[in-house]
A and B are shown apart, each in its own frame.
Chain A
Amino acid sequence: MLRYNLSHLRELEAESVFVIREVAAQFEKPVLLFSGGKDSIVMLHMAVKAFQPAKLPFPLLHIDTGHNFPETIQYRDNLVNKIGARLLVGSVQDSINNGRAVEETGANASRNILQTVTLLDSLEEHGFDAAMGGGRRDEEKARAKERFFSHRDEFGQWDPKNQRPELWNLFNGKKNLGEHFRIFPLSNWTEMDVWQYILLEKIEIPSLYFSHERECVDRKGVLLAKSEYIKLQDGEKWKKMQIRFRTIGDMSCTGAALSNAATIEEIILEVAAARQTERGSRADDKRSETSMEDRKKEGYF
């Protein structure tokens, strides 16, 4: 009977495709949140598979902090063009300009938290009732309790202690007017699964994930790439380093890792040997032990 076994990657893929199709079937106006990071790339790759040869039955939404790596934007535009998807952009800069959000100040200022405002506003503006995100349960301890179909009240808030039970593959997307759902098709994937799948499916990813030389500053163990958004503090200086990014987010808070990994195979070996979680280099998670839980309750990704 061995030939009727799926490998772990194909089983995870089958589960994610099922979830994505369920979203298209159950909701009136779903959207796929696309950041240009590897998780949302894998999610989009499977979404395309789920509906081919038809086009995606939902648009993509990118929450643009205005502090993105130029490589991310270029990659995003090429990919969207290739698959013929519709891309919407929610701009944090616009939220700041119209007074919905206030720019953080100080040395470690970041627009990371402000994304929540722009995200919730964008969902409301377009009337989206389900937003698919690339979040994985292995990323962070608050995410470990997240459902595939995560209910949000009319304020976009998550109530972790009062979640709907989720059994078998029966996903309950019913809701009242004004409420919406966050959907996490990659819930059961680990960082390693994502990389192995990228290798298996030969998925193109942004160059930022591969080793390259870049000027960075070492701030309390987090290597931040040189950009107009990072101001040097006393005693700090830019140094050329051979680095790559394990996650891709806002330039103001995404840390790089010293690395020579130039191919997917080498990245996989590096991930296998890694002694730090990928979010270990995210300055935004280091603010407090429950910073992710707090942000998620407010409506973060």
Chain B
Amino acid sequence: MNRNNGNAYLDMELLRFTTAGSVDDGKSTLIGRLLYDSKSIFEDQYEAIKLTSERRGEEHVNLALLTDGLRAEREQGITIDVAYRYFATPKRKFIIADTPGHVQYTRNMVTGASTANLAIILIDARKGVIEQTKRHAFIASLLGIPHLVICINKMDLVDYDQKVFETIKKDFQGFASKLNIQDIQFIPISALHGDNVVEKSTKMSWYGGPCLMYLLETIHIGSDLNLVDCRFPVQYVIRPQSDEYHGYRGYGGRIAGGIFKPGDKVMVLPSGFTTTIKAIDGPEGPVKEAFAPMSVTMRLNDELDVSRGDMIVRENNKPQTCQDIDIMVCWMNPRKMNPNGKYAIKHTTKDARCIIRRVHYKIDVNTLHRIQNDFEVGMNDIARISIRTTQPFFIDKYQINRITGSVILIDEATHETLGAGMII
């Protein structure tokens, strides 16, 4: 048994990754394989899918059944929403955002990708790079995922042929040079038979790289967060109504970027007042320094008027304060975007309203071409738009900071989340 044993592993790292693939390229099988081979599947879960596989007359135990949670999905054999899966090895704990790959589900891929450090993209070795592959890679790049792993799957069906692997790799690299992704790796696998998934395959001696699990366990994620630009969106003001803590004011929040220390000179936005940090309380008590993504309580040396939605930053490294913002928006609702519409908007801990000023272009996610003769933004469309907010926001570019660079648009009547925006 190597499922995460006990105390020795209190100090593991967490890696969040997302998987994308088209309907038949074996994504669910790959996840099932990772869970099964890392012994994260329990007997009762395995028994249940074994029974179902037998009842359906399938030859192998269908590991894909592990990931299909809702009744409609099992009935129709499809994945309709983002599902989260968990497994751990002695080295790391993993959170998988498993998203469906069909064209109508761009919004789910965007959702799954928004919190991921790494994306796995599956390519069927028999089909090579297809439109969906390009779409998935584009979304990974748009959402600022730092690491991309391209798994060329079903190598067993092409006789584990190195030439097939190399051709697909070259194809993909040609396309990916247009994208903004720091780190791309390629692995030839067979999810069905387990080649190069958890153990290195004996059938592809020509492949000198690591198997997928080894890569997931060792890929360097320590520098994925922004530790340079100090950003602390104030989330909740803590004021104990007791004599013991008379006059106490603490600012609760999650650090969105940079490193803060007691004694640091800071500025509070929007007021622009400066002061110094008196103390920072972390989960285990006072800390000497606090960094993203810690949730802390900060106290300041001067009594200022600070409330939710304000941001504590460094005087010499401020975000941009503005009301006119350009974003790439992914539309997530069947009702189309109103080109002059007013929407509620959320940015960090700040709520406001905004108006759509202009649609610049839409992006054809399959070719990356700009569409400049159709400005109608509907479900699953990705478009560059300009908005004006009712209050100034303290923003960074999404590529610099995913937390201070992202917004969501909300319908003012139904309160549904309509769009996800990345600040350009």
- Which residues of chain A have a CB within 8 Å of any CB of chain B? 1-2, 4-15, 17-18, 21-22, 24-25, 49-55, 137-138, 141-142, 144-145, 160-161, 163-170, 172, 174-176, 187-188, 190, 192-193, 196, 199-200, 265, 268-269, 272-277, 280, 289-290, 293
- Is the pair A167, B238 in contact by a Cβ cutoff of 8 Å? no
CA distance A17 to B293 in the complex (A): 11
A166 close to B93 (CB less than 8 A)? no
Among B107, B408, B417: residue with most chain A CB under 10 A: B417
Which of B42, B69, B222, B407 counts the most A-chain CB atoms under 10 A from its CB? B69
The answer to whether A172 and B71 touch across the interface, beta carbons within 8 angstroms, is: no
| Residues on the A chain within 8 Å of B12, using CB | 7-8
Measured CB to CB, the nearest residue on chain B to A4 is B291
Which 5 A/B pairs are nearest by Cβ-Cβ distance? A141-B69, A174-B415, A54-B240, A8-B14, A17-B295
A12 to B93 CA separation, bound complex (whole angstroms): 11
Please name all residues of chain A whose beta carbon is closer than 8 Å to the beta carbon of B71 when the two chains form the complex. 290, 293
B294 and A6 form a contact (CB under 8 A): yes
Other 17 A-B pairs with CB < 8 A, given A5-B222, A165-B332, A272-B5 = A4-B225, A12-B14, A50-B252, A51-B238, A53-B248, A55-B240, A138-B86, A145-B84, A160-B81, A161-B70, A165-B107, A166-B111, A168-B406, A175-B415, A188-B95, A192-B88, A275-B43
- B147: Cβ under 8 A from any A Cβ: no
B349 touches A54 (CB 8 A): no
Q: Are B295 and A268 in contact (CB under 8 A)?
A: no
Indicate if the CB atoms of A18 and B235 lie closer than 8 Å: yes
B170 → chain A closest CB, angstroms: 34
Q: Cβ of A25 and Cβ of B4 under 8 Å apart?
A: no
Say whether B283 contacts A190, CB under 8 Å: no
| Residue from B9, B227, B235, B294 in contact with A22 in the complex, judged by beta carbons closer than 8 Å | B235
Contact check, A168 vs B114: say whether CB atoms are below 8 A apart. Answer: yes
Is there an interface contact between B86 and A190, defined as CB atoms closer than 8 Å?
A: yes
Report the Cα distance A1→B223, complex, angstroms: 7
**A188 contacts which chain B residues (CB < 8 A)?**
84, 86, 95
26 contacts between A and B (CB under 8 A): A4-B222, A8-B93, A11-B14, A17-B254, A18-B254, A25-B235, A25-B349, A54-B242, A55-B240, A137-B86, A161-B80, A167-B406, A167-B420, A169-B403, A172-B415, A174-B415, A187-B84, A190-B93, A192-B3, A192-B88, A200-B10, A276-B44, A277-B44, A280-B42, A289-B48, A293-B69
Partner of B283, one of A49, A265, A293: A49
If A4-B227, A172-B408 touch, does A21 touch B235 (CB 8 Å cutoff)?
yes
Judge if B115 is at the interface, Cβ distance under 8 Å.
Answer: yes
B64 an interface residue at 8 Å Cβ cutoff?
no
A221 to B85 Cα, complex, angstroms: 27
CA distance A175 to B245 in the complex (A): 35
List of A residues within 8 angstroms of B253 by Cβ: 21
- What total of chain B residues lie within 8 Å of the partner, measured CB to CB? 82
CB-defined contacts of B70 to chain A, threshold 8 Å: 141-142, 145, 160-161, 293
- State how many angstroms separate the Cβ of A201 from the closest Cβ of chain B: 9
- Given the known interface contacts A1-B223, A167-B408, the answer about A196 and B420 at a Cβ–Cβ threshold of 8 Å is no
- Bound-state CA distance A89–B414 (Å) is 33
Known: A14-B283, A168-B402. A4 touches B240 (CB 8 A): no
Asked if B203 lies at the interface with its beta carbon under 8 angstroms from chain A, I say no
Chain A CB within 8 A of B82 CB? yes
Expressed in whole angstroms, the minimum distance between the Cβ of B93 and any Cβ of chain A is 4
Inter-chain CA distance A171–B400, complex, in Å, is 21
| Nearest Cβ on chain A to B353's Cβ, whole angstroms | 12
Q: Which residues of A contact B81 (CB under 8 A)?
A: 145, 160-161, 163
Min CB–CB distance A39 → chain B (angstroms): 14
Q: Report A-chain residues with C-beta under 8 Å of the C-beta of B349.
A: 22, 25
**Which residue in A12, A145, A172, A190 is a CB contact (below 8 Å) of B82?**
A145
B45 at the interface (CB under 8 A from A): yes
Residues of A within 8 A of B336 (CB): none
B358 within 8 A of A: no
Q: Shortest CB–CB separation between residue A179 and chain B, in angstroms?
A: 9
Decide if B368 is an interface residue (CB 8 Å cutoff). no
Asked if B126 lies at the interface with its beta carbon under 8 angstroms from chain A, I say: no
Of the candidates A4, A18, A272, A277, the one whose C-beta lies within 8 Å of that of B6 is A272
Among B80, B81, B259: residue with most chain A CB under 10 A? B81
Contact A14 B406 (CB under 8 A): no
B164 contacts chain A at the CB level, 8 A cutoff: no
Q: State the CA gap A172–B44 with chains docked (Å).
A: 36
Contact of A167 with B42 at beta-carbon distance under 8 Å, contacts A144-B84, A172-B346, A272-B5 already known: no
Are the C-beta atoms of A9 and B82 separated by less than 8 Å? no
Q: Name the residue in A175, A265, A268 with the highest tally of chain B Cβ atoms < 10 Å from its Cβ.
A: A268
CB < 8 Å neighbour of B259 from A4, A169, A193, A272: A4
